[in-house]
Chain A
């Protein structure tokens, strides 16, 4: 099976989707000639031409709006927001326009648009280039939110996002771009809303997504030294999220930790925890523990940023807490 970097898997998904469907176009700042700040869209303009791959001005609101109008007129636009932090400038077009169009127009049509955006820290990019804001979008009816943790999933989930008739927020953790992983030659689309068990275990379940999945696996390996057997569930899809898979894992382990890079307060973890405390209460043999960033902007200094993001130690401690 060929190995591929995460960023190249996204490039391949875009390329294959464009080859499969002439209605797929790309819009974004510096994505054509320059290939984007992380080189994810490199070579696509050469292959498909400037009428499929658009270098846009630095106009986040307008380019998302263009995506909405193009999607309503028959195209399948994939819009890149250079850093997730910059989506603040385009919130009206995503939240009030893209997300609402299908419902408020009575189901007459939909907005088959994908918005790609890198999130997360690890490169000392500071408070305006490192945030994880996916919970905002998961909170808005009409949007779907995906966040892959490895190259194969990045490929398969992005193919699904582009094929999906509704607007999809596709979140890429920028610490993963260089990650290598196997991507099968025949890797197809991965269904939206389906989690994956990436490590089986019987003592506790960690639910994670994006960049934190590999941290959770390392934490599980650490705990295995003490004969604690941890199951790791990769959510893959945040909205909708796979409640059935979480409950199934919980029915084996009866202990739950939810870990993500985003701020812990009012986050994706809070929703999962609240829901499981309701529908999964009888399965729980310990408190559900969350691991997320502290309630502070993403720091710049390396020393602070390293501790800000979920560490192996913090996840290990969380598991130990729920096992007490």
Chain B
């Protein structure tokens, strides 16, 4: 019997922070304030929030191109996050990575990733480092169902299982591989792959944050105790397109209209209302989140873009006195 590792109120606030942040990015992008490609995870917030409820700063995650929620749930600061996605010098990555490369190594967030599936072996390598260091830290690989077709996933499942790595594979299955339904892309299921590689597999409703948090608490607890690799498939919903500006004319009108019925925030709110939280409480949380995001966006907007003079910086680690490799 699992129990939710943190109060549902905390989960709700985290869900709301991700949702409102991405809604703000949506409008900033429409206004031309966000360069490049932006892949929003609206509708999928319950997965990273539920997983992160059992993660510590010393645990590591590797993410994918739809990684805002993973980063924010792991604890990346809103100021550095917004400045990065808006391409400012004050961004967590000095404006060099943007939406697809947000990282905060100080909290174990090893990066969003522009290549489908590429974060998966990186998460496994991090799990190997945890194991070699003989800690009870764990690593999480976040990926979508589109990555099921990538060979590197299959390679990594094999190694993680052979070596019993302390890691959790988290598939956010939203049914879409970029612009194509995954059922037209993939002959196998994740459950089938899990069986093929002899890895324990669970599938849950990824739009119910309490269900995700309870499943994660159970699996992560087992991993910390030495049970080795686990797979968690979360059925979830991609509300927006593959990226902002995608009109989604490849999706049926019925599907698009039905998306909000599975909204993880409404779902969580109903739970809290049943537990006695009133409208005032929800308004206070809403205001708190809005103020934090306003502050972050205002700071980012006021910040400068990175000076082209520094574009060659950090290609290599700078000279350090006494380092053996520098003459």
A-side interface residues toward B, CB under 8 Å?
A: 25, 51-52, 54, 56-57, 59, 61-75, 77, 92-93, 96-97, 100-110, 141-142, 144, 159-161, 163-166, 188-189, 191-194
Contacts of A59 in B (CB 8 A): 155-156, 158-159
Contacts of A191 in B (CB 8 A): 325-327
Which of B111, B118, B121, B156 is within 8 Å of A105, CB to CB? B111
Bound CA–CA A36/B97 (angstroms) = 38
Interface flags for B301-327 (1: CB within 8 Å of A; 0: not) read 000000000000111110000011111
Bound CA–CA A110/B314 (angstroms) = 9
B105 lies within 8 A of A72 (CB): yes
Binds A, one of B22-30, B33-41, B86-94, B203-211: B86-94
B97 lies within 8 A of A69 (CB): no
B-side interface residues toward A, CB under 8 Å?
A: 60, 62, 91-97, 101, 103-106, 110-111, 113-115, 118, 120-133, 139, 151-152, 155-156, 158-159, 162-163, 313-317, 323-327
Contacts A56-B159, A70-B125 given; does A142 touch B323 at CB 8 Å = no
Name the distance in Å between B321's Cβ and chain A's nearest Cβ. 14
B314 lies within 8 A of A102 (CB): yes
Using CB atoms, name the residue of chain A closest to B156.
A62
Contacts of B315 in A (CB 8 A): 102-103, 141-142
Bound CA–CA A197/B323 (angstroms) = 24
Contacts of B317 in A (CB 8 A): 102, 110, 164-166
Given contacts A52-B132, A65-B124, 16 further A-B pairs with CB under 8 A are A25-B132, A66-B121, A66-B128, A67-B125, A69-B127, A70-B126, A73-B110, A73-B129, A102-B315, A102-B317, A108-B103, A160-B324, A161-B325, A163-B325, A165-B323, A188-B324
Contacts of B106 in A (CB 8 A): 108
B104 lies within 8 A of A108 (CB): yes
Contacts A57-B158, A96-B118, A166-B317 given; does A69 touch B94 at CB 8 Å = no
Name the distance in Å between B188's Cβ and chain A's nearest Cβ. 18
Contacts of A141 in B (CB 8 A): 315
B155 lies within 8 A of A75 (CB): no
B159 lies within 8 A of A69 (CB): no
A192 lies within 8 A of B314 (CB): no
A-B contact count (CB 8 A): 171
Greatest chain B CB density within 10 A among A52, A73, A101 is at A73
Contacts of A61 in B (CB 8 A): 121, 151-152, 155
Greatest chain B CB density within 10 A among A72, A96, A159, A188 is at A72
Name the distance in Å between B134's Cβ and chain A's nearest Cβ. 9
Using CB atoms, name the residue of chain A closest to B122.
A69
Bound CA–CA A100/B314 (angstroms) = 10
Contacts of B103 in A (CB 8 A): 104-105, 108
Name the distance in Å between B231's Cβ and chain A's nearest Cβ. 16
Q: List 27 A-B contacts (CB under 8 A).
A: A51-B131, A61-B151, A62-B158, A66-B121, A66-B156, A67-B125, A69-B60, A69-B126, A69-B139, A71-B125, A73-B110, A73-B125, A73-B126, A75-B129, A92-B115, A93-B122, A93-B152, A96-B114, A97-B122, A102-B315, A103-B315, A104-B93, A106-B97, A107-B313, A108-B105, A144-B316, A163-B324
Name the distance in Å between A91's Cβ and chain B's nearest Cβ. 11
Bound CA–CA A300/B114 (angstroms) = 39
Contacts A110-B317, A191-B327 given; does A104 touch B125 at CB 8 Å = no
Name the distance in Å between A48's Cβ and chain B's nearest Cβ. 11
Which of A51, A97, A105 is within 8 Å of B93, CB to CB? A105
Bound CA–CA A151/B98 (angstroms) = 44
Name the distance in Å between A19's Cβ and chain B's nearest Cβ. 15
B316 lies within 8 A of A65 (CB): no
Bound CA–CA A96/B112 (angstroms) = 12
Which of B123, B124, B129 is within 8 Å of A74, CB to CB? B129
Which of A63, A68, A75, A103 is within 8 Å of B132, CB to CB? A75
Bound CA–CA A64/B132 (angstroms) = 17
Name the distance in Å between B311's Cβ and chain A's nearest Cβ. 9
Using CB atoms, name the residue of chain A closest to B116.
A92
B62 lies within 8 A of A160 (CB): no
Contacts of A77 in B (CB 8 A): 125
Contacts of A163 in B (CB 8 A): 323-325
Which of A57, A74, A107 is within 8 Å of B94, CB to CB? A107
Name the distance in Å between B137's Cβ and chain A's nearest Cβ. 9
Name the distance in Å between A165's Cβ and chain B's nearest Cβ. 4
A73 lies within 8 A of B130 (CB): yes
Bound CA–CA A70/B127 (angstroms) = 7
Greatest chain A CB density within 10 A among B93, B155, B163 is at B155
Bound CA–CA A57/B325 (angstroms) = 32
Bound CA–CA A21/B94 (angstroms) = 32
Name the distance in Å between B156's Cβ and chain A's nearest Cβ. 5
Contacts A72-B126, A75-B132, A106-B314 given; does A97 touch B324 at CB 8 Å = no
Name the distance in Å between B282's Cβ and chain A's nearest Cβ. 36
In the A-B complex, the 7 residue pairs with the smallest Cβ-Cβ separation, listed nearest first, are A69-B125, A65-B121, A73-B129, A62-B155, A106-B93, A191-B327, A106-B94
Contacts of B326 in A (CB 8 A): 191-192
Bound CA–CA A104/B306 (angstroms) = 13
Name the distance in Å between B116's Cβ and chain A's nearest Cβ. 10
Bound CA–CA A57/B127 (angstroms) = 17
Bound CA–CA A165/B323 (angstroms) = 9
Using CB atoms, name the residue of chain A closest to B102.
A105
Contacts of A161 in B (CB 8 A): 325
Contacts of B325 in A (CB 8 A): 160-161, 163-165, 189, 191-192
Bound CA–CA A109/B151 (angstroms) = 28
Using CB atoms, name the residue of chain B closest to A108.
B105
Contacts A109-B105, A160-B324 given; does A66 touch B93 at CB 8 Å = no
Contacts of A64 in B (CB 8 A): 121
